[in-house]
Structure 1
Amino acid sequence: MAEGAMNSSAPRQLPVLIVGSGSTGLALAQGLRKAGIPCTVFEKNAYHHGERDWNMGLHWGAPILKSLVPDGQFDEKVQSLQVDPYVPTKELDDLIWLRGDTGERLATITFGPFYRLRRSKLRDFLSQDLDIQYGKHLQNITYSSDGQSVTAHFADGTSTTGSLLVGADGARSTTRSLLLGPELGAINHIPYCATFIQQKFTTEQALYLRSFHPLFLASAHPNNTFAFFGMHDAPDPDDPSSWTFFFYVSWRSSLEEQEETKQWTDAQRVKQQKELAKHFCDPWKSALEWTPDDASAWYLGLTDWNPGLKEHRWDNHNGLLTLVGDACHPMTYQRGQGLNHSVTDAGKLRDALIKIQEGGNQAEVIREFEEEMIRRGGTEVKDGTANTGMLHDWERIKESPLFKKGMKKTDA
């Protein structure tokens, strides 16, 4: 008798439904695949690539990501995922801080190993061998009358039933909005913003800009602005003109100002960055001088959402639904903690689902998972927003979590 026929009468295990194919959702899916737990990833966009690319820091979360992917894959592939795959990752590296007006060194934060990963490369790596359905925009969630399953309903009229629905759909999570309503589930805007530029330069210019640090550099200015400069893509180590740099100046911006300027063109954003950079030392001053007036720009008003607030506690319907990553704890980025907490969520949820598979009570196991995640992530959200404020206040910058704790995980 064929194997399929022998197993045809066995009850089929419902899959875990993962909404969102960002790094968190894909890392979780890889971990479940490795554990033999069926899952399907649903992505609202029609194509895998079609969003803006950026880069992220992975450090204390690296061992967890390593545990989620197939054995040996992390060590084999991680170098190729970095902004410059030709620069070996150091066991310890320095994040150098410059005083924005004079260029003198303010501080050196030593930590490691530190992986600076391209988001697009990481998603390509984590997408391998997964069941991902594109063009699936979540519209509604329903639950079975016996409390044993959850169904995701999509805007295209299709639906899928699973054992658990995981909202991994980012800072502006549809899942979170469906759980809490459009007001409580909405992202929280804070009075800081930045304009990001990704730009190539001539060989001579690129070599000069990279002479300050091969990968990343930060600066705080006495005029209460903050800046970052780093590598985004180095496809050819022997052709500096092929390198793409990633840099920004951020500043305190009222919500009223953000609203008034939301329709600004890229040219207006670039002009504003050029004016801010005139007051900075190099590499920012020269990089913005050399950036064309018609360059592309990416403006971002900073946001957060604290899952630890009492009014933000969602009903997980006895363990049938949860949130992870930026859908649960979107935070500001200046301390480089977001990806690390997100992969930690994925690893801990993987562990929880294995426990359920081994007979644990789903409602209790998911409750315990959420309590730890909310405590840890909520603490980091508060720390991150406080850090952003201090980095834009020259009198308080050395009291910021980044200066005091570096890149270490906040103890919840």
Structure 2
Amino acid sequence: MTGAGFEVLVIGAGSTGLLLAQGLKQQGVKAVVYEREDPTTYQDRPREWGMTLHWGASYISKCIPPEMRPKLNEGICCDPFYGSKDLSLPHYNAQTGEKLFDMPGEEPRRISRRKLRNFLSQGVDVQYGKKLHEVALDDNGKVKATFEDGTHATGSVLIGCDSANSAVRPFLVGEEAAQLEDLDIQMFNVSSSFPRDVALLQRTGHPIFKNAYHPLGYMWWQSVMDVKDPDEPQTWLFQNILSWVGAPRAEDFPDQASRLEFWKEKAKSFADPWKTVGENLGDDLKFGVDRTTVWRPIDWSNSKFAGKVTLAGDAAHAMPAHRGQGLNNALEDAAKLVDELAAASRGDKTPAEALQAYEEEMRPRVLAEIPISIAQAQMVHSYDTLMNAPFFVHGMHKYRSDLAKQGKEVEIATQPKED
């Protein structure tokens, strides 16, 4: 089905799904986004975090309309008042406060997940409160999504952009193959404000972001999360992340007080500003223990949904956050899908050919990156291996070009054939 009859169902109103819908709208392709959360919880989640945008920025500009491009930085950056262009991200010895090195990147910017979603949702048809229950094919060869509220939607293709814990993925590859791999790396991730002097202290070294590594095996990421008034430091929001390998794990913390106590105790061995931040973590903070997970895209061409359903973003390739590649690859996914689906809408390709072309580009790209991000996540928690970590050589740049120069091939796992 092409032209006016071509419709794309997008599951998940995260960054990937919204950018995909924006790009398709510019191409005249009908796309509807279905989000499991209702409008209130979608907007007012108590938990917020930032992401590092670097080489993926060009894909946002490609997919949004021209009138939105001048408003991009103002609309999505954690500190819209910070006008400098950075070419690197500083890394420190957390015990001494000594700078170890600057990690190169392509004008990296710290952006707000919430701001990016709100920015990209402008003018896009988003249906909230639509938790996916089933994916099926109807008698007309269309793909049908049924939601837990009893409603359903049909389209030419369905794109799962619904996070690392994707509800679409099991329908495509099966429950067992859809499971995430646990790397046994634990993480506290919290955003909060601080007294004026502590807020100003956190913006020393670099006003936007910095990373620190402790010889005892801890990594502490620190970045500004939201600046509404540059003259009121006590109102600034900061994101702080502490991560480590192995125990203690989530089950080892009986309650919130024990998690906070652990963080404050570890902070005592850190230099400033991390030590002072630890001392000022509020007793009313609420945060859990996040686990670091991975999912590698397999070849699902044997699935009955092949050519009708595909995955993008974290749903297609969950990877550790320690090298900052997940978001940027997700944005490239969306842009590549826009090109392929626009071709299918025009009749230049069949939908199956369009999805196959996207998947054949996406899989080797992210399968080249995932082992690198895993290696980084593991090596940064061991001070002995820190200087051999991938970012020391490759920075935040896309890894695919390095792989091509080495002439290596990426092995893609194949889904078992269905009975």
Provide TM-score, normalisation by structure 2. Answer: 0.90
Supply the distance in 2 between the matched residues of 1:236 and 1:313 (Cα, whole angstroms).
Answer: 51
| Equivalent of 2:28 in 3, 13, 36 | 36
- What's the counterpart of residue 101 of structure 1? 95
CA contact (8 A) 1:139 1:154 kept: yes
3-state SS, counterpart of residue 342 of structure 1: helix
C-alpha spacing 1:304/1:313, structure 2 compared with 1 (3 Å)? farther
Q: Which residue of 1 aligns with 2:152?
A: 159
**Percent of matched pairs sharing the same residue:** 35
SS at match of 2:103: strand
Which residue of structure 1 lines up, in the alignment, with residue 360 of structure 2? 371
Is the 1:79–1:88 Cα contact (8 Å) retained in structure 2? no
Cα RMSD (Å): 1.9
What TM-score results when the alignment is normalised by the length of structure 1? 0.92
Report if aligned partners of 2:250, 2:289 keep a CA contact under 8 Å in 1.
Answer: no
State the Cα distance separating 1:316 from its structure 2 match: 6.4
How far apart in 1 are the matches of 2:92 and 2:377? 17
* Unmatched segments (≥5 aa) in structure 1: 1-9
Q: Is the 8 A contact 1:249 1:277 kept in 2?
A: no
Quick one: distance in 2 between partners of 1:104 and 1:259?
Answer: 31
Query: Could you say what secondary structure the match of 1:285 adopts?
Result: helix
Asked whether 1:175 is paired with 2:163, we answer no
2:238 aligned with 1:245: yes
Secondary structure (helix, strand or coil) at the match of 2:398 reads coil
Secondary structure of the 2:66 match is: coil
> 2:5 aligned with 1:22, yes or no?
no
Describe how 1:182-193 pairs up with structure 2 within 5 A: 182-193=175-186
Q: Are the aligned partners of 1:168 and 1:327 in contact in 2 as well (CA < 8 Å)? A: yes
Question: Does the CA-based 8 Å contact 2:157-2:308 persist in structure 1?
Answer: yes
SS in 2 for 1:365: helix
Match of 1:3 in 2: none
* Structure 1 letter corresponding to 2:340: A
Distance verdict in 2 for CA 1:146–1:201, change over 3 Å: closer
Q: For the structure 1 residues 160 and 390, does the alpha-carbon distance in structure 2 shift closer, same or farther, using more than 3 Å as the test?
A: same
1:322 counterpart residue number: 310
- 1:28-177 mapped onto 2 (5 Å cutoff): 28-47=20-39, 48-51=42-45, 52-90=47-85, 92-147=86-141, 149-177=142-170
2:130–2:149 contact (8 Å) kept in structure 1:
yes
| 1:291 aligned residue | 281
| Alpha-carbon distance, 1:75 to partner | 2.7
Q: Does 1:194 align with 2:187?
A: yes
Q: Deviations over 1:55-103 (max 9, x none)?
A: 111110111110100114123232332111100140x433111111111
Distance 1:70 1:298 in 2: 38
Moved more, 50-59 or 13-22: 50-59
Distance 1:296 1:70, change over 3 A: same
User: Cα offset for 1:259?
Assistant: 5.3
Q: More deviation in 107-116 or 400-409?
A: 107-116
Preserved CA contact (<8 Å) 1:136 1:156: yes
> Residues of 2 paired with 1:221 and 1:400: CA distance?
15
Letter of the structure 1 residue corresponding to residue 190 of structure 2: I
Alignment of 1:320-399 (within 5 A): 320-359=308-347, 360-399=349-388
Report the secondary structure of 1:241's partner residue.
helix
- One-letter amino acid matched to 2:239: F
Q: Aligned letter for 1:258?
A: R
Runs of 4+ in 1 over 3 A off after TM superposition: none
Between 287-296 and 113-122, report the one with greater CA deviation: 287-296
| 8 Å contact kept, 2:183–2:293 | yes
Aligned residues of 1:398 and 1:404 also touching (Cα < 8 A): no
What amino acid does structure 1 have at the position aligned with 2:167?
T
**What is the total number of aligned residue pairs between the two structures?**
396
Q: CA deviation at 1:271?
A: 1.1
Cα distance, 1:245 vs structure 2: 1.2
Give, in angstroms, the shift of residue 178 of structure 1: 2.3
Structure 2 equivalent of residue 260 of structure 1: 251
- Are 1:206 and 2:199 matched, yes or no? yes
Alpha carbons 1:306, 1:382 under 8 Å: kept: no
Contact 2:161 2:311 (8 Å CA) reproduced: yes
